[in-house]
Structure 1
């Protein structure tokens, strides 16, 4: 397992498809994950500290976990099957009960992890399969991506936050 940092979300052109880009914390691999517009908005909101007037789905799930006395301790991105990334939510046991591993879409898991301050990790085999190594001359592209992320807002994804 490798700890991953969320660099942010962007819209990939020309397909107008949002992606979230993760980077291996102690390595050079990146993991691009294509996601839906609503999930892109949820991730962008969490990264920007936007608090909507009513809880979004990921805010609601975090509140349920917290109110039941549990904690989301880790999100594991575990597989790529049929073009979809799969993740697992690791939830602690709370007041003396056993913990749980809950199947999740990777985009939902990332959005929830950002809200809960949980660690995001990826399986080594997944990074070997789907990770992308950036050459030194590609560092400029990563910097441009980071600059883009500094300027983009969740509203750029044109979704209804109440849905």
Structure 2
């Protein structure tokens, strides 16, 4: 099991699919790009801001419910990667609850708990920043890496300002 941290949240005003980039905390410092819906990326981004206690969004509300329970959120785990889809779970004491990776990451950021990833997922979908290629050549992984490279080539700082670029 490897601990990860969020290093980038990319949301474009264009048609590009939002992306969160996780980085391995120790070891090879592999990157794990996860494409997601705009709602998922928004949830992760909102977890970087202070919540509104009077009008919580769904993740803040759900987090309050978890906090009020008997078991604490110990970690979130990215546990599988199949056919281009990532799978995650919340670790609540002795129980694990399935979750979308975007929701799990948003919870981890709000809770301040570790984001973990199983070896097999990093081996298959992780990108070594030293050479930019996946450590293992899995079916479909090359397409995913190529999409990531194309995205990086087409993005510019103005895509992240939320402004239209007009003066």
TM-score, normalising length: structure 1: 0.75
Q: Secondary structure at the match of 1:132?
A: coil
Q: Does 1 or 2 have the higher relative contact order (CA < 8 Å, sep 6+)?
A: 1
Q: Deviations over 1:79-124 (max 9, x none)?
A: 01222100010002xxxxxx31001111110001111111101111
Q: What's the Cα RMSD here?
A: 2.5
Q: 1:135 is paired with a residue of what secondary structure? A: coil
1:127 maps onto 2:128 in alignment: no
Residue equivalent to 1:106: 101
Structure-1 residue corresponding to 2:7: 7
How far apart, CA to CA, are the structure 2 residues paired with 1:54 and 1:152? 26
Q: Which residue number corresponds to residue 143 of structure 1?
A: none
Gaps of 5+ in 2: 133-156, 163-167
More strand as a share of residues: 1
1:25 aligns with 2:20: no
| TM-score of the pair, normalised by structure 2 | 0.73
Structure 1: segments with no counterpart, 5+ residues? 93-98, 138-147, 157-163
Distance 1:12 1:127 in 2: 25
The aligned counterpart of 1:42 is: 43
**What is the aligned partner in structure 2 of residue 51 from structure 1?**
51
Deviation of the 1:38 alpha carbon: 1.2
8 Å contact kept, 1:12–1:19 = no
User: 2: distance between equivalents of 1:136 and 1:13?
Assistant: 29
Distance between the aligned counterparts of 1:12 and 1:31, measured in 2?
19
1:64-84 Cα deviation digits (max 9, x unpaired): 111123211010101012221
